[in-house]
Amino acid sequence: MVLGSVLESNITSHFRYIKKVYMFTVRRWWDRKGLQVALLAVVLGGAWALRQTQGEMLMEIYQTVARPIQSLQGDSPSDERLKDARTMELQTRIQDLETQNQKLKDLLGYVEKVPATSRPITARVVGRGADSWWQQVTLNRGRQQGIQEGFIVKAEGGLVGRVESVTDNTSRVLLITDVKSQVGVSVSRTKAQGLLRGNGSSEAVLVFHEKVPNVKVGDTISTSTYSQKYTSGLPVGRVKALNLKKLPASEGTIELFPSIRSLDWVTVYPKPEENSELEQQNKQGQKETQQPQQQKKSN
């Protein structure tokens, strides 16, 4: 009995010693390798989570951590760029609306000065082909609004063209810049007569009826009293250059008054035979313009 008790006591002591040695060895290994094992476990766990969630979990963690920092810093650069882009867009729209509003005011003021019997029809350019930019435009007014073939079309600055064809709600205008266009004109200062022809640009060619016309650079040009298609006295342009040696007739380069390159709003007038009041108004305007010039010469 005594021997058995002694043997059991020795075995217990031996196990306790082995346990202490094992725990000491594990603790020393953990102290040396524990941090590396933990990091490896975190990396493997993160890789597994990233694969399972396809990056959603990582993005959520990033947003959770970054949101307080962004709130302290204010708007991000991307938000600022977005606000700047929106501001520029709004400013551009405001400028366009202001420009259109001013054009409409100018047209409305001009229309109100014209007698009711010959009051023009305001229209907007809604069609223009790249291959026929200087030849024709389409307006958003037609037969139902009272427009007919042969009606005269003006814009800010002067004559633009003539209505060539009409549908119920649209009109096609032959521009004076078209090479097929021919307009009888005269020099406002001397009444020298000629024929204005388009050349597909913002300028036109004036072929004089006289061999040596009384004209000089800077003279203004308007529609002639001999014109059968256009009311007389409509402003057309200014003499930019002259070629008095041109054969068989002298020619001049005319800088057109209206901005045909960028037409937007226009006014449409009846045919010449139906628009005598407008003709009288143009003549009166020419007299008022010529009176100050004559006074300057007399002075």
Residues 6+ apart with CB under 8 A from 142: 166, 167, 168, 169, 170, 171
Do residues 154 and 54 share a domain?
Answer: no
Of 28-42, 73-87, 144-158, 226-240, where does mean pLDDT reach its minimum? 73-87
pLDDT of residue 299: 44
pLDDT of residue 177: 93
Do residues 61 and 141 share a domain?
Answer: no
Assigned domain for 119 exists: yes
- Looking at the chain, the whole-number percentage of residues with pLDDT higher than 90 is 32
**pLDDT-derived band at 245, boundaries 50, 70, 90:** confident
Range of the domain at 60: 2-28+37-65
Assigned domain for 70 exists: no
Do residues 47 and 115 share a domain?
Answer: no
Element (H, E) at 182: strand 182-187
**pLDDT-derived band at 124, boundaries 50, 70, 90:** very high
Do residues 60 and 137 share a domain?
Answer: no
Do residues 46 and 140 share a domain?
Answer: no
pLDDT of residue 206: 94
In the predicted structure, residue 199 carries a pLDDT above the cut 70: yes
Q: Which of 128, 188, 199, 135 has its CA nearest to residue 161?
A: 135
Tell me the CATH number at 252: 2.40.10.340
Do residues 118 and 179 share a domain?
Answer: yes
In the predicted structure, residue 27 carries a pLDDT above the cut 70: yes
Assigned domain for 83 exists: no
Q: Are 235 and 257 in contact (CB under 8 A)?
A: yes
Do residues 261 and 134 share a domain?
Answer: yes
Do residues 238 and 125 share a domain?
Answer: yes
- Bridge partners of residue 83, in order along the sequence: none
For 21, the 3-state DSSP assignment is helix
Do residues 51 and 197 share a domain?
Answer: no
